[in-house]
Structure 1
Amino acid sequence: MRSDTAALTTITLPEIRLRVRDAHKLRGYFGELFREHSPLLHNHYEDGTFRQQYPLVQYKVLDGTPTLVGLGEGAALLVELFLRIRELDIDGRHYPVQAKHIEHRTEAIGPVAGLRRYRFETLWMPLNQDNHRQYQTQSAAEQQAQLTRILTNNMLALLKAVGAYASDMPLLLVHLLPGEPVVTQFKNQSMLGFMGEFVANIALPDGVGLGKSVARGFGAVRRVD
């Protein structure tokens, strides 16, 4: 079965240690630092309107390490900006960047013949206000089915963003093992997030995000088999 490919750039700052919840501060810092460069860096256009598409530049803290991930156009953009990353300012604390690593490669993405297992490295946020209320009223089996549908749609949104979606694409087969939900504060509201694992017949690059607010580090995945 054919899978498409996408350019992927990962930048890490290995000598700086941050908390997972600082990922949105990374986004704020770099989005402001390079505000005039591209709306892909902060997902807002010049007139202030929000860019609704899947974010092609994402900011994460993985294993304590500040990480930037770019896909497609975002991958090329991070290569261009790499040498201009010289410091961080997080909550008024100044971090000189004395070491930084960049990896730029082409990754397979899209349906594959076999099943692959993935783990969420950061909280997956599948629910919005409306389907959160629906989720709370359902049986365990209905909740599982709802989350599986949402995860499938999350992956399709990613494929469309990098041009790897086709109308005749084979059906995605997804089995989700979400684990226990975690209550977290999201934009000053209590929402449910999930860690867990899933199995699917799709190739996904390590580090890309699925679900809500992936630009701020949520829903980062890693292959585990």
Structure 2
Amino acid sequence: MILHTLTLTFDTSRPVHGSAPELREYFARKFAEYTELHRQEDETFIHRYPVVQSKIIKDFPTVIGINEGAVFLKELADESREIQVGPDTYRIAEHDISIRDEEFGLSDTSHSYEFATPWLALTQENYKRFYKLTGKPARDEFVQKILVDTILSLSKSLDYDVTAPVTCDTNLHFQKDRLKGVSVMTFTGKFQVNFLIPDYLGIGKSVSLGYGAVRRIYRGIRKG
């Protein structure tokens, strides 16, 4: 399956201090007529995958559009001269636009990825189950199953039919975080999977708020 993607990175006049949710809120206010910015995934993550996702990558405000979202982002790039992240306003020195047609789906070989932003993987129920597990092997197996389920759910939301087993291996580390005042667990690190995922596509929960952006690693060196 081919996904049409547009990645828009803003080079601002000074370093950005703020969060991806604040960046998304700014675009939602400024471009209220574009419904793509207001479309968020529900708790089941099925059939509600956001076509526009805001992220902060290495202090650079970044927005990725998928399919119809890519068309919207081109218009956004032409109109934006400054952005607001939280209480601060930043002048845009230039835009970096990357437009690609990229493969998404099963692969005959395994590919390596890393999380460019923390992966929000666990529901409250799975959060409790994870903590009850003892030993790294049991926790790794549990997280690997969730990762596979997440990829299957993403595939369904994009109308991609997975016709063979998805297998993965992970080297992840968990940490506590807060989302909208609620304590959550997120994961960072690397994983391998027999699946092609475009760079900076978000997987898991709250991807429209910047979580779960993946980036492919080529021979031990990440791309981009």
Structure 1 or 2: more strand by fraction: 2
Q: Please give the residue correspondences for 1:1-225 in structure 2 after superposition, counting only pairs within 5 Å.
A: 4-15=1-12, 16-19=14-17, 22-38=19-35, 40-43=36-39, 53-140=48-135, 141-163=137-159, 165-166=160-161, 169-179=163-173, 181-225=174-218
Q: What SS does structure 2 have at the residue aligned with 1:7? A: strand
Alpha carbons 1:27, 1:42 under 8 Å: kept? no
- Structure 2: gaps of 5 or more residues: 41-45, 219-224
In the superposition, relative to structure 1, how do residues 160 and 82 fare at CA in structure 2: closer, same or farther (>3 Å)? farther
For residues 156 and 32 of structure 2, what CA distance do their matches in structure 1 show?
Answer: 25
Contact 2:49 2:158 survives alignment (8 Å): no
Report the CA distance between 1:147 and its aligned residue: 1.2
Q: Give the structure 1 partner of residue 221 of structure 2.
A: none
Question: Aligned to 1:99, what secondary structure does the other structure show?
Answer: strand
- TM-score, length of structure 2 as denominator length: 0.87
User: Which residue identity is paired with 1:175?
Assistant: D
Superposition CA RMSD, Å: 1.8
In the TM superposition, residue 42 of structure 1 has moved relative to its aligned partner by: 2.0
- How far apart in 2 are the matches of 1:161 and 1:209? 13
Question: Structure 1 residues 147 and 29, CA, compared in 2 at 3 Å: closer, same or farther?
Answer: same
Decide whether the 8 Å contact of 1:176 with 1:199 is kept in 2: yes
Q: Which runs of 5+ in 1 are unaligned?
A: 45-50
How far does residue 99 in structure 1 lie from its aligned partner after superposition?
A: 1.0
2-structure distance, mates of 1:9, 1:160: 21
The answer to whether the 8 A contact 1:178-1:194 is kept is yes
Greater than 4 Å deviation, 4+ residue runs = none
**Alpha-carbon distance in structure 2 between the residues aligned to 1:111 and 1:52:** 20
Identity within the alignment, %: 30
- Shift of residue 52, structure 1, vs aligned partner: 6.5
The question of whether the paired residues in 2 share the 8 Å contact of 1:54 and 1:157 is answered with no
- After superposition, the C-alpha distances for 1:167-210 in whole angstroms (9 at most, x for unaligned) are 5x21111112113x111112212221111111001111111111
CA contact (8 A) 1:72 1:162 kept: no
Farther-moved stretch of structure 1 (26-35 vs 136-145): 136-145
* Contact preservation (8 Å) 1:214, 1:220: yes
1:92-116 deviation per Cα after TM superposition (whole angstroms, max 9, x unaligned): 3221223112111100110111010
Name the count of aligned residue pairs.
211
